[in-house]
Structure 1
Amino acid sequence: MRIAMWSGPRNLSTAMMYAFAARGDCAVWDEPFYAAYLAMTGLAHPMHDQIIATGEIDPDKVAGRLTGPVPGGKTHFYQKHMCQHMIAGIPRDWMDQVTNVFLIRHPARVLASFAAKYENPTLDDIGFAQQAELFDRVAQRTGRAPVVVDSADIRNDPEGMLRKLCAALGIGFTPAMLSWPKGGNAQDGVWAPVWYAAVHRSTGFAGPEGPLPVLTGSHAAMTEKALAYYQRLYPHRLVL
């Protein structure tokens, strides 16, 4: 099975990639379109030059690998995608050949975390509008809502939600998904030193989150805009 997991930044996405990598039967790919996205937009992301130098900047070649042979001869192929990378010029037809899952998180939490690492983020940078668009595309082409999982529910009950997710995907759950070695994964993108410090210190999912952060000014206004997209997907989330 090829699993395309769609989220924005700061959304438990790396921990989820580690969980699937820990299964032993699953190859993983960290943000396949990141290099192409930066090459096409010229955005000044941290480690911009290194990301382009070490990644594939031809999006058609990326798409071919996403639907080609599973790396390492594994049974499953987990693809960690960032919704904001799916700009014009990035192909989408390959999505019809994978199982698409949407990982959501309250925008106040996303923005508070992302803004601490990236100066003056925009709504496009955090991917909520793009996530809703991709969700609609999959729903229209398959005739049903795709699987949605909320990061807060995973942190509240990792085993329960991963069991629920695996059942929705039609694959077996294994307790190995609940932990991983400290220090990162060999498949981490070159950008890991900037973004993955917390998950590199971890050996499993963090516990439940506290109250929502209080945002002000432009961050509060952006949260309100993003909230409308989050609330469209929220009713479709898996629940225990």
Structure 2
Amino acid sequence: MSYTDTVLSYSGTADDGVARIAMWSGPRNISTAMMRAFGNRRDAHVVDEPFYAAYLAATGLDHPMAEAVIAAGETDPDAVAAALTGPVPAGTTLFYQKHMTHHMLPGFPLGWSDAVRNAFLIRRPESVLASYRAKRETVALADLGFVQQAEIFERVADRLGAAPPVIDGADVLADPAGVLAALCAALSLSFEPAMLAWPPGRRATDGVWAPHWYHAVEASTGFGPPRPEIAFADLDDSLKPIAEAARPHYERLARFRLAAAAQPA
């Protein structure tokens, strides 16, 4: 680790005038709601887990709707990487990319991330595990992305010499306007109130896996109320070792999470 404890604020845009934002998260956070928030901006184009098909094709894992995900997506990780820094739809000045950190397998390209602004969305391991178990019976540490998220964070921070922006899903739900304003400031973006509310329903930009995972966000019209935090003692005993293994990686990033910005009276 060669970076300071300073949290970086990005500046400038790419040569084409587009701000590309890679938001790195694990599953069962508020990552899809965050995609809704950015997708509701007038200047934005969003992409949903672009490496998912490549991840499933490479691993052969038995995920819900795996065949449909592979059929609908790009399975060449190099082609995915090229698209993330390539052309965007006309009128777009903000390209928001929702990434799952566990999709970045060894050998998948990460050099493209040097050309975008990276930010990190975190959630306490206990809450992630309880939510994940409700959707899938089996779970392993590698499924949750904590280790991979910390590795990507360190890579970005070492390159920049300062920590990239980090937000905690619980903080967003407690104060959506304040935390999103702080995030936008750190990313050198204007904050738009449109990010706080959106029409219900599915989007053309949602992944093909939406029918299995996105019921709650499809019914939403904004960020929900804060969720009760799950205590370690309340976890199933089979999940406790996973929570203990994930916690140091979560806490490493949590040191840098952004405080909510004060809102005008």
CA change 1:170–1:39 in 2 (3 A) is same
Which residue of 191, 216, 240 corresponds with 2:236?
216
Q: Which amino acid aligns with 1:235?
A: R
Write out aligned runs for 1:34-45 (5 A).
34-45=52-63
TM superposition shift of 1:70: 1.9
Q: Distance in 1 between matches of 2:226 and 2:91?
A: 36
Match of 2:181 in 1: 163
Write out aligned runs for 1:170-209 (5 A).
170-209=188-227
Deviation digits for residues 22-52 of structure 1 (CA, Å, limit 9, x no counterpart): 0111100000000000000000000000000
Which residue of 130, 136, 148 corresponds with 2:166?
148
Write out aligned runs for 1:1-240 (5 A).
1-213=19-231, 214-240=234-260
Q: 5+ unaligned residues in a row in structure 2: which ranges?
A: 1-18, 261-265
Q: Which amino acid aligns with 1:7?
A: S
User: Match of 2:96, SS?
Assistant: strand
Q: Distance in 1 between matches of 2:241 and 2:217?
A: 29
Q: Which amino acid aligns with 2:251?
A: Q
Q: Which amino acid aligns with 2:86?
A: G
Q: Distance in 2 between matches of 1:73 and 1:39?
A: 33
Q: Distance in 2 between matches of 1:44 and 1:71?
A: 33
TM superposition shift of 1:73: 3.6
CA change 1:3–1:217 in 2 (3 A) is same
Q: Which amino acid aligns with 1:8?
A: G
TM superposition shift of 1:69: 1.2
CA change 1:71–1:119 in 2 (3 A) is farther
% same residue: 59
Q: Distance in 2 between matches of 1:66 and 1:210?
A: 35
How high is the TM-score relative to the length of structure 1?
0.98
Moved more, 111-120 or 153-162: 111-120
Q: How many pairs were matched up? A: 240
Q: Which amino acid aligns with 2:248?
A: A
Deviation digits for residues 139-158 of structure 1 (CA, Å, limit 9, x no counterpart): 11111111100000000000
**Counterpart contact for 2:23–2:97, Cα < 8 Å:** yes
Q: What's the C-alpha RMSD, in Å, of the aligned pairs? A: 0.9
CA change 1:94–1:211 in 2 (3 A) is closer
Q: Distance in 2 between matches of 1:221 and 1:184?
A: 36
Structure 1 segments (4+ residues) deviating >4 Å: none
Q: Distance in 2 between matches of 1:22 and 1:7?
A: 20
Q: Which has the higher helix share?
A: 1
